[in-house]
Amino acid sequence: MKNIQLVILMSLLLISSIVSADHEIKTEISINASPKAVWKVLSDWQAYPQWNPFIINISGEQKIANKISANLKLESKDPMEITPILLNVEEEREIRWKGKFLFTGLFDGEHYFLIEPTEDGKVTFIQGESFSGILFYPIWHFIGKETMKGFEEMNAALKLEVENQNNISPMGKI
């Protein structure tokens, strides 16, 4: 009987890995500031507890291939610690990391922040993550909507923090 259960479990894992396509969430917001001003707030990890409702704490040297530590707060859950590896840190442009649950292939996420200048002197801030792994669907069921909401809340808080630091009202510079 145990052999049959093992075969069924292995078959389900195999099927799950075959149908487990990458899934990406992507959010963006327009910020009335320069890339330099956005980068100043985004890269100041020590200040995150004062303004960031989603990444409530983050530490580590901002250098490619370094392991960092971050505490994420989803609305109805206790904060969870992640320890991803930095893939890219490009001043005034991008921060990107990749994390995993237990080991690569179970549930992996490549998270990114992009700062894109626009022709009107503003910035489009993009936050996204590409998820993959054989446990994607069951884990996503529990955290998907709240993760998207966390991204959107962080984006709005970043916009407010940057524009406040630069004395910019919704109508333009004060």
Q: pLDDT tens for residues 73-116?
A: 998 888 999 999 999 999 999 999 999 988 888 889 999 999 99
| Backbone CA torsion sign across 41, 47, 145, 109 | positive
How would residue 14 be classed by pLDDT, with cut points 50, 70 and 90? low
pLDDT at 106: 85
23-31: strand order across its sheet: 23-31, 123-132, 108-117, 94-100, 85-90
Residue 116, token pair as written in the block? 């894109």
Number of structural domains found in the chain: 1
For the beta carbon of residue 120, count every other beta carbon within 10 angstroms: 7
Tens of pLDDT, residues 122-149: 999 999 999 999 888 888 888 889 999 9
Residue 146, amino acid: E
Please say if the pLDDT value at position 155 is more than 60. Answer: yes
In the block, tokens 């100043």 appear at 40
- Higher local confidence (pLDDT), 14 or 66: 66
The reply to whether 11 falls in a domain is: no
The reply to whether 7 falls in a domain is: no
**Angle (CA) 113 118 120, round 5°:** 145
* Full residue range of the structural domain in which residue 158 is found: 22-173
pLDDT at 166: 86
**Angle (CA) 141 27 31, round 5°:** 150
CB contact set of 171 (below 8 Å; sequence gap of 6+): none
Please say if the pLDDT value at position 173 is more than 90. Answer: no
The reply to whether 17 falls in a domain is: no
In CATH, what number is assigned to the domain containing residue 59?
A: 3.30.530.20
Tens of pLDDT, residues 15-65: 655 555 568 899 999 999 999 999 999 999 999 999 999 999 999 999 999
The reply to whether 163 falls in a domain is: yes
pLDDT at 139: 84
CA distances from 40 to 4, 35, 163 (A): 57, 9, 12
CB contact set of 20 (below 8 Å; sequence gap of 6+): 132, 133, 134, 136, 137
